[in-house]
């Protein structure tokens, strides 16, 4: 069986970082890279901020094409050794399934915050707990050095 590193991508800066990390790791290991972009229309989430009529009129083919184009652009940017895989479904389930044939699963973590994580669930956390192979979670890099902002006070308070 050929070794494959599967990396979940979504177009975010941290997923681009994860993809580049996976490509470098694949070079060290001498294995293939599969960039997986999972997409689906979650009508329960869509209907909240917009009317049901607008949600029902969403063009699934256009959405699929937009995701395909994003994935192909990311894969081309990362290098010719990256195989692009577009999958319809929840990212958590798609990546856990893809991990079954992977030697390593790489995902980015956006740190969406506790409220969003409770409502939607963390893809990276789900993968860590459900993947069939080791998982690497790539986080947004923090600035190495941040200059402290001066504290301005109105002067002595009497």
Write down the domain spans for the chain. 4-139
- Percent of the chain residues past pLDDT 70, beyond the cut: 70
Least confident of 41-45, 115-119, 134-138: 115-119
In this predicted structure, the answer to whether residue 87 has a pLDDT above a threshold of 90 is yes
pLDDT tens profile 92-129:
999 999 999 999 999 998 755 444 444 445 898 899 99
Per-residue three-class SS string for the chain: CCCEEEEECCCCHHHHHHHHHHHHHHHHHCCEEEEEEEECCCHHHHHCCCCHHHHHCCCHHHHHHHHHHHHHHHHHHHCCCEEEEEEECCHHHHHHHHHHHCCEEEEEECCCCHHHHHHHCCHHHHHHHHCCCCEEEEECCCCCCCCCCCCCCCCCCC
Residue 103, token pair as written in the block: 């030697």
Superfamily per CATH, domain 4-139: HUPs (3.40.50.620)
Residue 144, token pair as written in the block: 């190495």
pLDDT recorded at residue 2 = 72
Which pTM was predicted?
A: 0.76
pLDDT tens profile 17-41:
999 999 999 999 999 999 999 998 7
CA angle 44, 135, 97 (to 5 degrees): 50
């Amino acid at each position: 069986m050929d070794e494959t590193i599967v990396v979940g991508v979504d177009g975010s800066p941290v997923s681009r970082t994860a993809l580049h990390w996976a490509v470098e790791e694949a070079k060290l290991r001498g294995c293939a890279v599969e960039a997986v972009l999972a997409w689906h229309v979650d009508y329960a989430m869509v209907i909240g901020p917009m009317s049901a009529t607008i949600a029902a009129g969403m063009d699934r083919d256009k959405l699929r094409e937009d995701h395909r184009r994003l994935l192909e652009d990311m894969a081309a940017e990362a290098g010719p050794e990256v195989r692009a895989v577009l999958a319809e479904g929840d990212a958590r389930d798609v990546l856990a399934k893809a991990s079954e044939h992977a030697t390593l699963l790489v995902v980015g973590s956006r740190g969406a915050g506790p409220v969003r994580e409770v409502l939607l669930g963390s893809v990276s956390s789900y993968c860590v707990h459900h993947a069939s192979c080791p998982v690497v979670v790539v986080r947004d890099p923090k600035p190495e050095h941040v200059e402290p902002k001066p504290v301005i006070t109105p002067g002595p308070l009497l």
